[in-house]
Structures are given as C-alpha cells and as structure tokens.
Structure 1
C-alpha cells in the first residue's frame, strides 16, 4: 500500500521548484547508516514502497529500517490526447519533494558491509543518484 497523507488542506498542489540543498533532514539521525540523495526531484510513493520492500527482505528481522522521506505532494495529470481548457487534472499519485543532501533511508543493527549492500539495492530502485553515508561520531 503506497504512502499518502491522511488528509490535506488542498487536493491539488502547484508543481513548485526544487531549489538549493536540504537544510534539514541531511544527517543520519536514527540509524547507523543512511542513503543520501545527491540530486533533487520528486520521489514517487510507489518507489518509496519498492525501496522499503527491498530493504525489508534484505534485513529479515536482523536490523531496523527507517524511512525518512514521506510523500506530502499530490501530483496531478490530465489524460493523454485531451483538448486544452478543461481545467487541472485529478491527483494521479503522491510524491516526496527531495532536495540534494536529504537522507531517504536509514538502517541500524547491521554491520557496515551488509548495510552497504542493502542500501545499494535500495539505491538501484531510486530515480536519482544516491550515496552511502554513516552516522557522525558524537564530538
């Protein structure tokens, strides 16, 4: 079941622009290792779910997975070959707005090599470049 908000103030959003780097959500906060986006864009709820399933199959009860991206933005579309002037289309899917530097997934309770393999499998599913990062030592 894809993620989506329980309720929203407005059903249809404007597209907006993804400008700048992530100011928050840009460090590993919950797990030991994370997957950091290097490019900006929209992350479809179905893609987040595909990443969750892939990581859950790899972890198999050993570690803990944290999903840091949530799809708050509704993306609308008009059917193909429709004439102009009939208004904005209906919401088609939900997406998370991702800025460069944002942590998308985190994992805890696995050795680094296993976590690296797991995150590589998740990154393969994502539509933009990502990198493996680890938690900073508490200085």
Structure 2
C-alpha cells in the first residue's frame, strides 16, 4: 500500500526509537502497520486518488492532544486530516474520520474508514472520509 503514497512522503522516515519514545510520552500504542508507514515516511501531505491526506509526523502527533473532545487516550487518538474540516484518527484499532467541529456528540460523527492502514488508504483514495 505504501506505493500509493509515493508523492508527498516526508523523508527521512522516523527511527523506531523515536516512534517508541513518542508512544511512551503520549501513552498510546500505534498499530504496527502505521509504525511501518512512519519508518518509511515521517508524515505525509498530498492528494491520493479522489481524496487529500495529511498524516502527521511523529512530533506532530503530540499536538493532537489540543483537541479537547478527542484527547489522547490509549485506544483513541488523531493522526492527521484531509487538510480541511476533517480529522483522521484511530479508535480501538479502527481508522476513522471525524469533523474538527462537531454538530452533536462526537461519537455520532465518527465514520469508520477501515480496520487497518491499507483499508484506510483505500477509503481515502476512493474519496471517503469527508
């Protein structure tokens, strides 16, 4: 799936020690396939298919805690956005989209995009997640 992200890579990738240190500092556990992505590209920012994808670098993951209604928790955290009104995150291992501004309870506005990184990228490529 990484070949679909050939444009927009943020090189060099993150070191495993850097990823592990950020996980420990934030009290989160990133899915293994997402860590594989971060080791190849420490973030991403570009169009992909019919969607747009901005995935935060290891350092930028810490900024996600500023979104008070979606605070960093072991099974719930943000990883990026569509460059506009939609955030991308992970809830209990599932990749999701959620608006930055909620019209109601945030739980009602979560849309699952896939149970793994490949499915997530395929959903963004298909234009889902807005």
* TM-score after normalising by structure 2: 0.30
Tell me: higher relative CO, structure 1 or 2? Use CA pairs within 8 A at least 6 residues apart. 1
TM-score by length of 1: 0.29
Question: Greater CA radius of gyration, 1 or 2?
Answer: 1
Q: Which has the higher helix share?
A: 2
